[in-house]
């Protein structure tokens, strides 16, 4: 592609992106296509000769866009948000244009040094003490895997990587049943094995793990000849927003010499608001914490921050330094590829720097506080309706509910979710609470307004009462 053509299509793509974002309220939130319908329009093989950009772009608009679910839609109330604030999108244009490989300080000094600075900005913003350093990972799944690898290596006296696991005592990791399935994957990939992920019962209104049961499990495992390695706690679990009692769990971890990792992938963004920090009281006792600015805060995916109390343990676990990756003549520099599972690294810090500077922390706090208030208002309105019930109270901007009706309540509520999503005005997902289906609602899309929450109430009640 020649320079002038690159110029033309770059401008066209940017203009398309602006118009797309302007049109989102007029689109159904979820794609209305049948499985296989998009694939059937794509050629069976790659072309032997190049095609014009006009043809390619036209096919993008006619074949691809109709099959997309619109995650930036202001009435996206499913899963958790994957926000891409417009200023973050602009930063990503620049990152994509430079296309730097930021694995080492010397491969992009500005990327490394900016990452160090914005990590510390975020540490201050969420109220962590100065003893924490950090790294931008691609996702919470990778951060959790890195934490599990560190807890495994520490427990095995740093011999797991060199010796393998077969000759060592089985290591144990402890978590409740409210943690994300990324924890299961980390346990699989690390070689610890699902049988050694010990599930701790939950109790209380926030479905947090029972500290007494946790300590009893650790003691029993030691007596049985197992090797307790670490604990994975959560703040703002995916299903219903479960929050473990971090202070008590941290004390147990300290007492028994276990590594504590806290998954706050969604809820961590809300900790820029001091009034919400009660949900993770005692967080300063953690060894590792992950939260995703690419969820609620507005940094375009992927951008997941892992804070670490002792980064030297992470480097000891993950770093490999062949001669071709060494930086000679510079001591004390950070090579963030040594803090990550992948060697290759994108310039993720730039979009976070743009975002924080453009909106300011107070602007982002206002957004999060609004989402929490609007979600709680919707929960109260649904609870006041005779044919609805709240299943779980709001945790920040997440709650769950059911509609009363039908001889099979689970089937009835699944049918309701499907009908709501087929309608297209809003998008919700379901979960299970105590074995029964419940419908989840979370407010978090960057450009959502109070009117969108009011629309959610109208759509939910209208569709539930049809026929």
pLDDT at 329: 43
Question: Three-class SS string for the chain?
Answer: CCHHHHHHHHHHHHHHHHHHHHCHHHCCCCCCCCCCCCHHHCCCCCCCCCCCHHHHHHHHHHHHHHHCCCCCCCCECCCCCCCCCHHHHHHHHHHHHHCCCCCCCCCCHHHHHHHHHHHHHHHHHCCCCCCCEEEEECCHHHHHHHHHHHHHHHHCCCCHHHHCCCCCCCEEEEEECCCCHHHHHHHHHCCCCHHHEEEECEECCCCEECHHHHHHHHHHHHHCCCEEEEEEEEECCCCCCCECCHHHHHHHHHHHCCEEEEECCCHHHHHHCHHHHHHHCCHHHCCEEEECHHHHHCCCCCCEEEEECCHHHHHHHHCCCCHHHCCCCCCCCCCHHHHCCCCCCCCCHHHHHHHHHHHHHHHHHHHHHHHHHHHHHHHHHHHCCCCEEEEEEEECCEEEEEECCCCCHHHHHHHHHHHHHHHCCCECEEEEECCEEEEEEECCCCCCCHHHHHHHHHHHHHHHCCC
Whether residue 326 is contained in a domain is answered as yes
177 and 134 co-located in one domain: yes
The stretch 207-222 carries a mean pLDDT of 96
Pair 315, 340: CB distance under 8 Å: no
Residues 193 and 267 in one domain: yes
Does 41 fall in a domain? no
**Domain edge (last residue) among 318, 346, 374:** 346
Tens of pLDDT, residues 141-170: 999 999 999 999 999 988 888 888 887 889
Indicate whether 42 belongs to any domain. no
Final residue of a structural domain among 346, 375, 399:
346
Give domain status of residue 351, yes or no.
no
- Does residue 269 sit in the same domain as residue 314? yes
For residue 351, pLDDT beyond 60: yes
User: How far from 328 is each of 206, 237, 283, 323, CA to CA, in Å?
Assistant: 51, 44, 38, 10
> By CB neighbour count within 10 A (0-12 exposed, 13-18 middle, 19+ buried), where does 280 fall?
buried
338 lies in the same domain as 383 = no
Looking at the fold, whether 369 and 462 belong to one and the same domain comes out as: yes
Joined together, the tokens standing for residue 175 give: 């978590």
Q: What is the pLDDT of residues 236-261, one digit of tens each?
A: 998 899 999 999 999 999 999 999 99
Q: Which among 118, 139, 126, 128 is positioned nearest to 287, based on CA atoms?
A: 128
- Domain boundaries, position 409: 1-30+69-85+360-467
Q: pTM value?
A: 0.91
- Please indicate, yes or no, whether residues 232 and 259 belong to a single structural domain of this protein: yes
In a domain, 373, yes or no: yes
Structurally, the chain folds into a number of domains equal to 2
CATH number at 313 reads 3.40.640.10
In a domain, 44, yes or no: no
**190 with 333, same domain?**
yes
Q: Which of 87-96, 103-112, 352-361 has the lowest mean pLDDT?
A: 103-112
Over residues 376-417, the pLDDT tens digits come to 999 999 999 999 999 999 999 999 999 998 889 999 999 999
Give me the pLDDT at residue 327, please. 53
In a domain, 119, yes or no: yes
**Domain match, 305 and 435 both:** no
Q: Are residues 280 and 366 in the same domain?
A: no
Q: Which of the four pLDDT bands, split at 50, 70 and 90, describes residue 467? A: low
Residue 338: pLDDT over 80: yes
Q: Are residues 257 and 397 in the same domain?
A: no
The answer to whether 125 and 359 are in contact (CB under 8 A) is no
Report the CATH number at residue 422.
3.90.1150.170
122 and 169 both lie in a single domain: yes
For residue range 20-57, list pLDDT tens digits in order: 999 999 999 998 888 899 999 998 999 989 999 999 99
Q: Mean of the pLDDT values across residues 88-105?
A: 87
Of 314, 346, 378, the position where a domain reaches its end is 346
Q: What is the pLDDT of residues 297-306, one digit of tens each?
A: 999 999 999 9
The answer to the question of residue 236 being in a domain is yes
Q: pLDDT grade, residue 426 (50/70/90)?
A: very high
- Place 322 in a pLDDT band, splitting at 50, 70 and 90: low
The mean pLDDT of the chain is 92
Q: Which residues pair with 176 in a beta bridge?
A: 200
134 and 268 in a single domain? The answer is: yes
């Amino acid at each position: 592609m020649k320079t002038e053509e690159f110029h033309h299509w770059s401008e066209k793509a940017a203009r398309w992106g602006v118009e797309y974002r302007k049109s989102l309220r007029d689109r159904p939130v979820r794609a209305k296509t049948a499985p296989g319908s998009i694939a059937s329009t794509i050629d069976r093989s790659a072309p032997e000769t190049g095609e014009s950009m006009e043809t390619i772009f036209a096919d993008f608009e006619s074949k691809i866009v109709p099959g997309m679910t619109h995650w930036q839609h202001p009435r996206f109330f499913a899963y958790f948000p994957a926000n891409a604030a417009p200023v973050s999108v602009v930063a990503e244009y620049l990152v994509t244009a430079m296309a730097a490989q930021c694995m080492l300080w010397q491969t992009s000094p500005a990327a490394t040094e900016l990452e160090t600075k914005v990590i510390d900005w975020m540490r201050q913003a969420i109220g962590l003490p100065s003893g924490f350093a950090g790294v931008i990972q691609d996702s919470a799944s990778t951060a959790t895997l890195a934490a599990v690898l560190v807890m495994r290596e520490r427990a095995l006296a740093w011999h797991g990587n060199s010796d393998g696991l077969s000759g060592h005592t089985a290591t144990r990791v402890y978590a409740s049943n409210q943690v994300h399935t990324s924890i299961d994957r980390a346990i699989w990939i690390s070689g610890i094995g699902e049988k050694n992920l010990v599930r701790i019962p939950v109790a209380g209104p926030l479905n947090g793990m029972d500290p007494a049961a946790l300590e009893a499990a650790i003691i029993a495992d030691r007596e049985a000849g197992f090797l307790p390695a670490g604990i994975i706690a959560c703040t703002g679990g995916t299903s219903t927003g479960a929050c473990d009692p971090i202070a008590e769990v941290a004390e147990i971890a300290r007492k028994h010499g276990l590594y504590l990792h806290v998954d706050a992938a969604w809820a961590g963004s809300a900790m820029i608001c001091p009034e919400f920090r009660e949900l993770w009281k005692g967080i300063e006792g953690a060894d590792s914490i992950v939260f995703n600015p690419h969820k609620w805060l507005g940094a375009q995916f992927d951008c997941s921050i892992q804070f670490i109390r002792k980064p030297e343990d992470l480097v000891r676990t993950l770093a490999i330094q062949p001669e071709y990756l060494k930086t000679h003549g510079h001591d004390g520099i950070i090579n963030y590829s040594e803090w990550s599972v992948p060697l290759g690294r994108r310039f993720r810090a730039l979009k976070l720097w743009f975002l924080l500077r453009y909106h300011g922390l107070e602007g982002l706090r206002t957004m999060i506080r609004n989402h929490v208030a609007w979600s709680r208002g919707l929960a109260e309105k649904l609870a006041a309706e005779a044919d609805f019930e709240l299943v779980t109270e709001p945790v920040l901007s997440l709650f769950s509910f059911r509609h009363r009706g039908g001889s099979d309540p689970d089937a009835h509520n699944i049918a309701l979710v499907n009908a709501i999503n087929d309608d297209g005005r809003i998008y919700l997902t379901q979960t299970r609470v105590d074995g029964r289906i419940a419908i989840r609602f979370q407010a978090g899309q960057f450009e959502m307004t109070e009117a969108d929450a009011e629309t959610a109430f109208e759509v939910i009640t209208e569709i539930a009462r049809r026929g």
